[in-house]
Structure 1
Amino acid sequence: MDLVVRGRGIHITDQIRRAAEHKLAKIERLNPRVLRLEVEIIGDLNPRTGGSHRIQVACDMARRTFRAEAWGDDVESALDQVAQRLERQISSYRGRLRARLTGRRNRLQSSRTSTDGSSTSE
């Protein structure tokens, strides 16, 4: 997995980069198909946003991209929020995939039993 950390209006230190790697490592464990994570940290002084740091993350997987955004007073709290949002998106996506696959399996099994049952009843 490639992790790209960029900053706008803020200097990205090694400590911030390590924190981003640490917080977003769980996403790769949730889905090993993650190809790239792009983290953009924006130093924002707008009082309407509710925080002075805004973090945007784009998670690229094969045929799918997830995006999350969070604001916080410091980088750590915003990273926590954005990681939770991405984890929630990816886990619900995995749940939908599982449901679709089990639905297919159930339909295949029911069609096999119906064709087998009709041949034995004759």
Structure 2
Amino acid sequence: MRTIVKGKNFDVPDYVRQYTERKIARLERILDDRSDALVELSVEQHRSAAVSHIVEVTLVIDGRTLRTHAAGPTHHEGVDEVVDKLERRAVDHREKPRVRSRPDEEKNLLRKIADGTAEPGREVKIVKTKRFAIEPMFDEDAAARMDELGHQFFVYVDAESERVQVLYRRRDGDLGVIAPVLGGEYTKGRSAGRSNGRH
């Protein structure tokens, strides 16, 4: 399994890179050598210390992409959590019919994702609605829950702003957040600039 570990606006320490590569390698026993992994690490100082270290992983399996997120007080703990999630999801992914990509596309897909030059994938239609209790959670937890449900959007109460938000998957595979503001006024939580920047 090829693994790319990169930091968002910071240099990843060697010990964190080595730990991440070692943990991601655990997935080989499920996916053998048919997959590649892009791991993006970041630190968000505005979050509480318990969820300030963000880990985002994109797996490329036979030309298909599988994404998940985790957050913790350190990147080590975030990596542990995201690998546990990926192991569960990779088992389900492995059972799907294997679809081969053209050799050049499969070889370069992970690098294109890492460079931000991958072409948008096919937009998936929402075919089912599920009712569930809304509970406060952080964006990364909402993203993980949305992935577990297999939905293209997820409604939740943001733990920081205490407002209802909608997380959705964009056509390019990234995630966006819709944060409604009643009456055009904003009195608590994120600033308007921060929310708009994440759409």
- The TM-score with structure 1 as length reference comes to 0.70
AA matched with 2:76: E
AA matched with 1:44: E
| Structure with higher RCO (Cα < 8 A, 6+ apart) | 1
**TM-aligned CA deviation for residue 46 of structure 1:** 2.5
Asked if structure 2 preserves the Cα contact closer than 8 Å seen for 1:9 and 1:44, the reply is no
**TM-aligned CA deviation for residue 95 of structure 1:** 4.3
Structure 1 residues 14 and 63: CA distance shift in structure 2, 3 A: same
**TM-aligned CA deviation for residue 30 of structure 1:** 0.7
**TM-aligned CA deviation for residue 66 of structure 1:** 0.9
AA matched with 1:64: R
Asked if structure 1 preserves the Cα contact closer than 8 Å seen for 2:35 and 2:61, the reply is yes
**How does 1:1-122 map onto structure 2 within 5 Å?**
1-47=1-47, 51-95=51-95
Measured in 2, the distance between the counterparts of 1:36 and 1:49 equals 30
RMSD: 1.9
Structure 1 residues 49 and 73: CA distance shift in structure 2, 3 A: closer
Identity %: 27
Structure with greater helix percent: 1
Unpaired runs of 5+ in structure 2? 98-199
Measured in 2, the distance between the counterparts of 1:87 and 1:37 equals 13
Unpaired runs of 5+ in structure 1? 98-122
Measured in 2, the distance between the counterparts of 1:48 and 1:56 equals 18
Asked if structure 2 preserves the Cα contact closer than 8 Å seen for 1:42 and 1:54, the reply is yes
Greater gyration radius: 1
AA matched with 2:29: R
Measured in 2, the distance between the counterparts of 1:69 and 1:13 equals 20
Asked if structure 2 preserves the Cα contact closer than 8 Å seen for 1:38 and 1:57, the reply is yes
**SS class of match (2:15):** helix
- The TM-score with structure 2 as length reference comes to 0.45
Q: Deviations over 1:61-80 (max 9, x none)?
A: 11321111000000111000
Alignment correspondent of 1:100: none
Asked if structure 1 preserves the Cα contact closer than 8 Å seen for 2:41 and 2:56, the reply is yes
AA matched with 2:7: G
Q: Deviations over 1:10-39 (max 9, x none)?
A: 321110111001111111111114332100
Question: Number of matched residues?
Answer: 97
